[in-house]
A and B are shown apart, each in its own frame.
Chain A
Amino acid sequence: MNEERYHKLRDIIQIYLPEDVSVTDISEKSHFTDELNINSAHLVDIVLDVEDTFDIMLENEDMEQMQTVKDALDIIETKLSKK
């Protein structure tokens, strides 16, 4: 795992966490809505932040596949390798 990318992603996710979930609860395996309890409406905002941070563009299918932190990292990896 690319540590730098993971830390950048964690910083993005952090702001969308509900009050009772801490940043230390985030791991690579975390499921955004089921485990981190992120409001599903905010997944679109996470996608936009990921796009801005990594200077990539995600398709609707990418968004649908992005269920966990690991999914997001994989998508970022794929997009960056195609740049």
Chain B
Amino acid sequence: MNRRVVITGLGVCAPNGVGLDAFADSLRHGNSGIRFQGRLKDLNFGCQIAGEPLIKDNLVSQYFTPLQLRGLNASGIVYGVIAGTDAWKDAGLEPQGNDKPDWESGIIFGTGILGVDKFRESIHLVDDKNVRRLGSTTVLQTMSSGISAYLGGILGCGNQVTTNSSACTTGTEGVLMAYDRIASGKAERMLTGSCSDSGPYVWGGFDAMRILPRQYNDNPSEGSRPLSATAAGFVPGSGAGALVLESLESAKARGARIYAEVLGGAVNSGGQRSGGSMTAPNSEAVQRCILQAVEQAGIQKNEVDVINGHLTATVKDPIEIKNWSLALEREGPDFPYVNAFKSLFGHCLAAAGSIECVGALLQFQNNCVFGNSNCDDLHPEISRRVDSTKIPVKTITYSPKIIAKASFGFGDVNACVIFKAFND
């Protein structure tokens, strides 16, 4: 059984836009969501800029009950619930009534670490010998699967409800897990996505690794420079993206609007061998992942016309471009269009894959390829391999047919998904 799977709903809570309209508008016009963070300065961070969604209190109260809001101190859950609930609604679906769950709908919503601020609050209480004061939601807010559990309860899903975690690959991996579940006939609809908390306790470890830019604290919107010769490290971010995947039969039966078809994809690991490590990808594995994705999707290498890269703005960007080029056997003017959304909102870590998948998919509907910011000075190794017209610095009008989206993560893990403009 290998059923066709389509995307019928999207939701996003990104540093440069909460909600699809605001997000698409920011991607189209190159509006940055990277801002100076006074708190990081106060804490002596080297990098004092970050991408954090701006959420108004009155927005939060539309998604959570007053009871759920009591003691809620987990930004990832807030972002994930907003994006997930919005995607469900965008798909034309309603939360299930109280009598029984919706057995045909499930959730795979990933995260790297959840409820960090709640966990910090708890640690202080425990160390003060006050464990009895933790309250009933400490566990729910700090367990990784807290995000799928909150969404599962709000929507009433009765199929698989789980959380995946594979560092910065999480969101893209989740799309493929949801795809597999529907394609194999185990579910009709899956809400998938990922979220990542904001704040110094999430971002601190990366600052300590000296892989974040330190020279843009006075100039935040120029700090994230994927593909650029002056890339100085990734700007940390946070947020959530969400997608509703659905069997084509179910989508048609409901008369649902279809954003695109998921043709398939691949996940693998470089095994931390042959140049791969805990923090660096094995290039052979990346190329295999891209190639397997193309093969699994049943398309030819030359059919990919847009790539949404992982492209974090570290020294690895030229290597990533080389890997795409070798895997697809494309270069110069024959290379697909490529964009790197992290230039506008930083690296949202576990949320990166899902937020970027949402952005990539919006290009089908908007008939465009969103532009790249901060790469007027292309890295020479990239410009030697790819014609600069394929890396638009402004949004261009174009109707993508096949978009390949890849994410790579710590632990030497890779995921690549292939989306196709829907054509019955």
Contacts and interface: CB of A to CB of B under 8 A. Distances in A.
Contact of A42 (B66, B133, B136): B136
Most chain A Cβ neighbours within 10 Å, of B135, B136, B137: B136
A42 to B, nearest CB: 6
A23 interface: no
A15 interface: yes
Interface in A1-56: 15-16, 41-42, 44-45, 48
Contacts of A48: 133, 135
Contacts of A44: 135-136
Contacts of A15: 66-67, 70
Contacts of A16: 67
A45 B66 contact: no
A30 to B, nearest CB: 18
Contacts of B137: 45
A48 B67 CA distance: 14
Contact residues on A (Cβ < 8 Å of other chain), bracket:
under 10
The 10 closest A-B CB pairs, nearest first, are A41-B136, A44-B136, A45-B136, A45-B135, A15-B67, A42-B136, A15-B66, A48-B135, A48-B133, A16-B67
A38 to B, nearest CB: 10
Contacts of A41: 136
B264 to A, nearest CB: 41
A40 B120 CA distance: 25
Nearest to A16: B67
Nearest to A41: B136
A48 to B, nearest CB: 6
B128 to A, nearest CB: 14
Q: Is the interface of B mostly helix, strand, loop or mixed?
A: loop
A41 B141 CA distance: 14
A42 B65 CA distance: 14
B78 to A, nearest CB: 19
A41 B149 CA distance: 15
Nearest to B66: A15
A42 B133 CA distance: 13
Nearest to A18: B67
A45 B66 CA distance: 14
Contacts of B136: 41-42, 44-45
Interface string B350-377: 0000000000000000000000000000
A15 B133 CA distance: 18
A41 B134 CA distance: 12
Interface string A43-80: 01100100000000000000000000000000000000
16 contacts: A15-B66, A15-B67, A15-B70, A16-B67, A41-B136, A42-B67, A42-B136, A44-B135, A44-B136, A45-B70, A45-B71, A45-B135, A45-B136, A45-B137, A48-B133, A48-B135
A42 B136 CA distance: 6
A48 B138 CA distance: 14
A34 B133 CA distance: 25
Interface string B63-78: 0001100110000000
B146 to A, nearest CB: 14
B122 to A, nearest CB: 13
Interface string B122-141: 00000000000101110000
Contacts of B135: 44-45, 48
A16 B71 CA distance: 13
Contacts of B66: 15
Interface in B37-95: 66-67, 70-71
A45 B136 CA distance: 6
Given A44-B136, A48-B133, 7 more contacts: A15-B67, A16-B67, A41-B136, A42-B67, A42-B136, A44-B135, A48-B135
A43 B130 CA distance: 18
Nearest to B65: A19
Nearest to B69: A15
